[in-house]
């Protein structure tokens, strides 16, 4: 793993949250994007070398919608930048860490992504991210 790529924050209202975090960070988000495969809309803020990703559900079947039914808005996941996501997924499987998908998916911000099962990571939802070239 190369670095923390971003920290994901689950939010109910992306527009209100964009306004709030723009005030907190003193700058506007640099990108918003809908990720159909995950049923979410995302918004990114650049903070130094890392990013903050706001994530809101676009439908009731979205993992974020289900998460917010059980939890408050707040930190949802931490994402790590990796060089080769498939190699990293294989390494983690060999270490006994369960993955939430068998192959990488197309995520937001031009990334291939995969989540690790939080039951195997002390309750922390970890995302692996690889830049799509």
Statement: residue 133 has pLDDT above 90? no
* Predicted confidence (pLDDT) per residue in 15-49, tens digit: 999 999 999 999 999 999 999 989 999 999 999 99
Cα atoms in the Cβ-side hemisphere of radius 13 Å centred on 97: 20
Please tell me the pTM assigned to this model: 0.92
Count of CB atoms situated within 10 Å of the CB of 132:
12
Contacts of 12 (CB under 8 A, 6+ apart): 56, 68, 73
The stretch 118-130 carries a mean pLDDT of 97
d(CA 57, CA 42): 9
Predicted local confidence at residue 1, as pLDDT: 86
Planar angle of CA 90, 80, 61, nearest 5 degrees = 85
* Predicted confidence (pLDDT) per residue in 58-94, tens digit: 999 999 999 999 999 999 999 999 999 999 999 999 9
């Amino acid at each position: 793993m190369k670095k923390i790529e971003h920290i994901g924050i689950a939010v109910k209202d992306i527009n209100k949250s964009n306004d709030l975090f723009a005030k907190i960070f003193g700058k506007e988000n640099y990108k918003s994007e809908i990720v159909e495969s995950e049923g979410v809309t995302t918004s990114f803020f650049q903070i130094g070398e890392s990013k903050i990703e706001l994530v809101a559900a676009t439908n009731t079947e979205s993992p974020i919608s289900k998460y917010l039914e059980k939890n408050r808005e707040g930190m949802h996941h931490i994402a790590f930048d990796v060089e080769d996501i498939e190699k990293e997924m294989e390494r983690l499987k060999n270490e006994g860490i369960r993955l939430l998908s068998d192959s990488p998916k197309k995520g937001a911000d031009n990334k291939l992504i995969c989540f690790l099962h939080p039951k195997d990571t002390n309750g922390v939802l970890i995302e692996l991210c690889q830049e799509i070239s």
